Amino acid sequence: MRISALQQQGEGFPVSVLRELAAMRAVNHPSLLTMLGVCVVQGKGRAAGDAAVEAWTVYLVLEYCEHDVRSFQAALGRHFSEAEVKCLAVQLLEGLAAMHRRWRFHRDLKPANLLCSNDGELRLADFGLARQFEAPPRRGTTPRLVVTPTYRSIELLLGDHAYGPALDVWSAGCIIAELLTGKRLFKASSEAELALAILRVIGSPTEAEWPGWRELPYVAALRGLRGIASIPAESRPARLREHLGLPATSVSGRGCLSDEGLDLLVAMLAPNPTARISADAALSHPWLTTAAPRPQRRELMPHIPSTNERASREAQDDDDAAWSTRAAAVRARMALSLDR
C-alpha cells in the first residue's frame, strides 16, 4: 500500500485530483494501479500575509509497487529477454485497451508511469492527464501540454489538436522498443528536432498515406523537413530495424527482434493516427500470440527480492560467513593439537 498526500489551501478541490480520481474509478483492470481509498484531513494553513486559512490534505491510498520498469530492469542487472518484453507488453496493452474501451486515454505514458511489482506484474499509473475522448476526436488540449516529449506521438509534435487514443499506442510502441534495446527510441534536444528525428526514420508521409498532415500547425516551422524524403511503406520496417540495431535472430547472445515484433512496432508507430493499430488489435498480433518465443508466463517472470528479503539474505550471508570463520578457527586449533 502507498499513500500519496496532496495539500490544498482555500476553497475548492484541485481539478487535477478530481480528474485522476475519476479516471481511476472509471476503469478497473489488473494492469491499472488500484486506488484503495481516499481520506481528507482538514486543518489550518498560512496564506500570504501570514493569515490563518482553512487547509486540508487529501490522501490517496494506492496499491504499492516496488519499481517502475526501468528500476526493475536495473535491479535485474541485464536486458529483458524478448519473451519477458512480450509479457510486459501484453500487460501494458491490456491496461490501455481497458481504458480505451471506456473512452479514456492516458496521455502520459512513459517508463516512470509503468510500475512493477517484484515479480514483474505491471501497472499503469499516474492518471493526472487522463481524459475522456470522443470518436471522431474533437479539438483537445494543446499538444505541448500532454505526454512527455520523448514518448509524444508524431501528430502531437506536429501540432494536431484533434488527437485520440492512438497517441497512447505510439507511446506504448516507444516504450516496448526501449524495453528491447535498453535505450530511448527517439531523442532530441527540442520538440522540432524530435519530430525531424522521427521523420528521418519513418520517412516523410505521402499525402495519400496521411491526408492533410502538411497543414498541421507546427509543420511550417520544421527546418530541414524538405531534406527528408518520402519512403514507401514497405521500406519502413528495414529503416526501423536499422534504427533499433536489433537483428531478426540472436547473434553471439545479442538481443534480437523477430520480423513479427518489428511488424507490430511499425504498426504502432504508423504516422497517420487513424491508420495506427489499436491497443485491442495489437493484443491479437502474431508477435504476442503465436510467434516464438511466446510471452513469458507471469509467474515465471524474474523475481527481484524486496528490501526486507535482501536484508534477510544479507543477514543470513553474514551469519554463514561468521559460522564459516568460526568453523575454520576450530579446525585450525584441532590440527594444531594433533601436531603436538
Alpha helices in the chain, H assignment, sequence order: 15-26, 69-76, 82-101, 154-157, 166-181, 191-202, 236-244, 259-268, 279-283, 286-289, 307-339
When pLDDT is cut at 50, 70 and 90, the band that residue 314 belongs to is: very low
Classify burial at 48, counting beta carbons within 10 Å of its beta carbon; exposed 0-12, middle 13-18, buried 19 or more: exposed
Q: How many structural domains are present in the chain?
A: 3
Question: Residue 89 has what pLDDT?
Answer: 98
When pLDDT is cut at 50, 70 and 90, the band that residue 303 belongs to is: very high
Are 259 and 150 in a shared domain? yes
Are 227 and 337 in a shared domain? no
Q: How far apart are the first and last CA of the chain?
A: 63
When pLDDT is cut at 50, 70 and 90, the band that residue 313 belongs to is: very low
Whether 282 contacts 270, CB under 8 Å: no
Are 71 and 54 in a shared domain? no
Q: Which residue segment(s) compose the domain that 331 sits in?
A: 310-340
Are 83 and 141 in a shared domain? yes
Higher pLDDT residue, 26 or 287? 287
Catalytic residue among 68, 108, 160, 168: 108
When pLDDT is cut at 50, 70 and 90, the band that residue 315 belongs to is: very low
When pLDDT is cut at 50, 70 and 90, the band that residue 312 belongs to is: very low
Question: Residue 81 has what pLDDT?
Answer: 93
What is the domain-level CATH number for residue 125? 1.10.510.10
- In this prediction, residues 272-290 reach a mean pLDDT of 97
Q: Is the pLDDT of residue 193 over 70?
A: yes
Are 325 and 266 in a shared domain? no
Q: Is the dihedral of CA 227, 233, 239, 244 positive or negative?
A: positive
Looking at 117-131, 175-189, 321-335, which range is the least confident one? 321-335
Beta bridge partners of 53: 45
Are 99 and 248 in a shared domain? yes
Q: Is the pLDDT of residue 10 over 60?
A: no
In a domain, 153, yes or no: yes
Q: Is the pLDDT of residue 302 over 60?
A: yes
In a domain, 242, yes or no: yes
pTM of the prediction?
Answer: 0.82
Q: Is the pLDDT of residue 270 over 70?
A: yes
Q: Is the pLDDT of residue 253 over 80?
A: no
Beta bridge partners of 42: 56
Q: Which residue has the cell 482555500?
A: 10
Question: Residue 309 has what pLDDT?
Answer: 45
Q: Which residues does 207 contact at the CB level (< 8 Å), separation at least 6?
A: 213, 214
> Number of C-alpha atoms within 13 angstroms, CB side, residue 198?
27
Active site residue 108: yes
User: What digits encode the pLDDT tens for the residues 41-80?
Assistant: 877 665 555 666 677 777 888 889 999 999 999 999 999 9
In a domain, 305, yes or no: no
Are 212 and 295 in a shared domain? yes
Are 49 and 167 in a shared domain? no
Q: Is the pLDDT of residue 327 over 60?
A: no
User: What digits encode the pLDDT tens for the residues 282-300?
Assistant: 999 999 999 999 999 999 9
Higher pLDDT residue, 126 or 253? 126
Are 228 and 318 in a shared domain? no
Beta bridge partners of 57: 7, 41
User: What digits encode the pLDDT tens for the residues 129-168?
Assistant: 898 888 766 665 555 566 788 999 999 999 998 899 999 9
DSSP notation for 212-276? TGGGSTTTTT-TTGGGSPP--GGGHHHHHHHHHT--SS-STT-----HHHHHHHHHHT-SSGGGS
Question: Residue 101 has what pLDDT?
Answer: 96
Q: Is the dihedral of CA 24, 186, 169, 65 positive or negative?
A: negative
- In this prediction, residues 15-26 reach a mean pLDDT of 81
DSSP class of residue 32 equals B
Name the pairing type of β-strands 114-116 and 67-68.
antiparallel
How much is the mean pLDDT over the chain? Answer: 84
Are 174 and 281 in a shared domain? yes
When pLDDT is cut at 50, 70 and 90, the band that residue 334 belongs to is: low
In a domain, 318, yes or no: yes
Q: Which residue has the cell 516496488?
A: 66
Rounded distance between C-alpha atoms, residue 230 and residue 204, angstroms:
4
Whether 59 contacts 4, CB under 8 Å: yes
Name the pairing type of β-strands 104-105 and 131-132.
antiparallel
Q: Which of 44, 62, 80 is the last residue of a domain?
A: 62
Are 98 and 244 in a shared domain? yes
User: What digits encode the pLDDT tens for the residues 160-186?
Assistant: 988 999 999 999 999 999 999 999 999
Classify burial at 152, counting beta carbons within 10 Å of its beta carbon; exposed 0-12, middle 13-18, buried 19 or more: buried
